[in-house]
Amino acid sequence: MIYGLIINKLKAPFFTDLKEMFDTLGSMVNNYNWLLSDYSCNVYPCKKIPIDKEFVWFTGEEFIETVRKHNIQFIWGVATAYAKDIPLGDVLKYSLPFANGYTGFWKSTITMQNSLADIEIVPWDASLVLVISKSKMIVDKFAKEYPDSQDLREYNQGFITNDVNKSDV
């Protein structure tokens, strides 16, 4: 089962500060390698997150160090976590995860874009963050940290129900 959450309000003054997201995960960030794809930022302050790459591959330690050192606003993107024993070559056998246009976020049965992934953190148009995970515990951790957040499945059910009701009128 895949779990999801919509976060509509961060503590940072802007969407999306991945440092804040990683602070919520704590040391668990280091348990993964991270693929950053389909990203756009307010600034590209370092060579580790260049403007002209399709993706960047980080260890958890490298990624958290980079976002802590630089004040980067991620407007769009997908930060995808993979177990440390999964090599980049296996990850790249799949299409790169993308934010805008991926319909699996918005269905009653939420899906992740790569079956090898454990977590997707998706900055969405500088207005919200989606957290998708195979682990209920991880999504619950974010829900506790962000009490204004909403279960993604419930959110999607509301839209599906509303769309059906609208078409019946």
How much is the pLDDT for 160? 61
CB-count burial class (<10 Å; 0-12, 13-18, 19+) for 164: exposed
pTM attached to this predicted model: 0.92
Q: In this model, does residue 162 exceed pLDDT 60?
A: no
pLDDT value, residue 120: 98
Position 164 confidence tier, pLDDT thresholds 50, 70, 90: very low
Encoded tokens for 124? 């969405």
What's residue 163's pLDDT? 46
Structure tokens at 100: 């805008």
Q: What is the mean pLDDT of the chain?
A: 92
- Displacement of CA 153 from its chain's centroid (Å): 16
For range 74-78, the mean pLDDT: 96
Burial category of 2 from C-beta neighbours within 10 Å (exposed 0-12, middle 13-18, buried 19 and up):
middle
How many alpha carbons fall within 13 Å on the CB side of residue 109? 1
Taking the alpha carbons at both ends of the chain, their separation in whole angstroms is 34
| pLDDT for residue 68 is more than 70 | yes
4 and 107 in contact (C-beta within 8 Å)? no
